[in-house]
A and B are shown apart, each in its own frame.
Chain A
Amino acid sequence: MTNYRIETAYDDIDARLINFLQAGFPICPAPYQHVAEQLGLSEQAVIERLQTLLANGVLSRFGPLYHAERMGGALTLAALSVPPAQFEDITDRVNAFTQVAHNYARDHVLNMWFVIATETPQELAQTLIEIEKQTGLKVYNMPKLNEYFVGLKLEA
C-alpha cells in the first residue's frame, strides 16, 4: 500500500537539531551561530547538516512558514476522484499548477487531495476552474470554515 522508504537517514545530532528547529529559528545577524551555541555544535556543522537533511528529504522545508490568508492570499483543500488508470496522468496535470502546494494520494473514493495556495481569492477561484478543465474531473472544494489548531512538533 505504501511505497515509503523508511530509513534512518539522520543521526542523534540531527534529531536534536530537528527538534530544536521545529520550535523556532532566531531573527538576529548570525542565527546559525546562535543555534550552534545552543546545541554545542559549530556554525558550519549546523548549516551543513541542514543542507543534507533538506537534500535527502528528511526535512521538506526550512524557513518562515506563512499564514497565507493573512497576506491577503487564499488557501483551500480540494479532492478529486481519479480513475486508477488515469492516476499518473492526472497527478502530472494537477502538480503542474504552481498554486498546488501539497498533493497526497489517499485511500478513499476521493483518492487525490491537494492544497491550493494563491495570492488572491480571485486566483484561487480561477485555479479551481482551470483544474477542472485540465483534468475533466469534478473538484471537491473544501475551504476551511474555521481553524481550531495548526502546528505540531513531531519528535525526531
Chain B
Amino acid sequence: MDMSDIDLMIMRATQGGLPLVPEPYVHLAEQLSLPVDVIMARLRAMQENGVIRRIGVVPNHYRLGYRFNGMSVWNVPDERVDALGQQVGQLPFVSHCYHRPRNLPQWPYNLFAMVHARTQTDVETQLCQIAAILGDDNLGHDVLFSTKILKKTGFRSANQA
C-alpha cells in the first residue's frame, strides 16, 4: 500500500465529515486500521500539497443570512480573461472565480465569479465593483441567483462503501 492508497482511504473516510468525538483522528485510525500518527501525518501532508484545501466548516450561506448568492458571469475577451480573473478573484466578497468555456449561442460568458451578500443593495454594489475592474473588456454580463438548493452533499466518491 503506497501513500496514494492511504490518502484515498483517508479521503473516502472523511469526505462526509470528521467524527464528532473527542479524538477524531484516533477514531479514523481505528476505522482504517492505521496508526494515528500516519493519519495525522498524511492529513498534514495533504494540506501542504493542496489536496486538502482546508479542514473546517462550510456554512449554509442562507442560514447565515446571506440571501443573495449570485453566480455573476461575464463575457470578456479570451486574451484578457486571466489578467481580469486574477483581479476579480481578489475581491473580498468573491468566493469562487473561474474561467469556463462559452456554450454559444446560448451562453456567451467565460468568466464566473460567485458573490455573496445579505442585501440587494450590497450585491448591486459588488457587481458594480466587478464591472469597474473589467471596464471596456466587459462585453456583457448576467447574474444568476439561486432560487433553491436542490442538493448539497459535498464530494462523495461514487465508489464509497
Report whether A146 and B99 are in contact in the complex, using a CB–CB cutoff of 8 Å. yes
A2 vs B44: C-alpha distance in the bound complex, in angstroms?
40
**Contact pattern, B 20-50, Cβ under 8 Å of A = 1, otherwise 0:** 1111111000000000100010011011011
Report whether A2 and B148 are in contact in the complex, using a CB–CB cutoff of 8 Å. yes
A63 vs B22: C-alpha distance in the bound complex, in angstroms?
14
Query: Using a Cβ cutoff of 8 Å, how many contacts connect chains A and B?
Result: 253
**Contact pattern, B 85-119, Cβ under 8 Å of A = 1, otherwise 0:** 11011100111111111010011000010001000
Judge if A119 is at the interface, Cβ distance under 8 Å: yes
A104 vs B146: C-alpha distance in the bound complex, in angstroms?
6
Report whether A64 and B86 are in contact in the complex, using a CB–CB cutoff of 8 Å. no
Report whether B62 and A4 are in contact in the complex, using a CB–CB cutoff of 8 Å. yes
Judge if B129 is at the interface, Cβ distance under 8 Å: no
Report whether B144 and A60 are in contact in the complex, using a CB–CB cutoff of 8 Å. no
**Contact pattern, B 68-90, Cβ under 8 Å of A = 1, otherwise 0:** 00010000000001100110111
Q: B36: which A residues are within 8 A, CB to CB?
A: 29
User: Contacting A60 at CB < 8 Å: which of B14, B60, B145?
Assistant: B60
List the B residue with the shortest CB-CB distance to A8. B65
**Contact pattern, A 41-84, Cβ under 8 Å of B = 1, otherwise 0:** 00100010011011001111111111110110101010101000
Judge if A33 is at the interface, Cβ distance under 8 Å: yes
Q: A141: which B residues are within 8 A, CB to CB?
A: 103
Report whether A71 and B18 are in contact in the complex, using a CB–CB cutoff of 8 Å. no
A-B contact pairs, 8 of them (CB 8 A): A24-B55, A27-B40, A32-B22, A62-B58, A73-B155, A103-B149, A103-B152, A142-B103
Residues of A near any B CB (own CB < 8 A): 1-4, 6-10, 18, 21-25, 27-33, 43, 47, 50-51, 53-54, 57-68, 70-71, 73, 75, 77, 79, 81, 91, 94-95, 98-110, 112-114, 117-119, 123, 140-152, 154-156
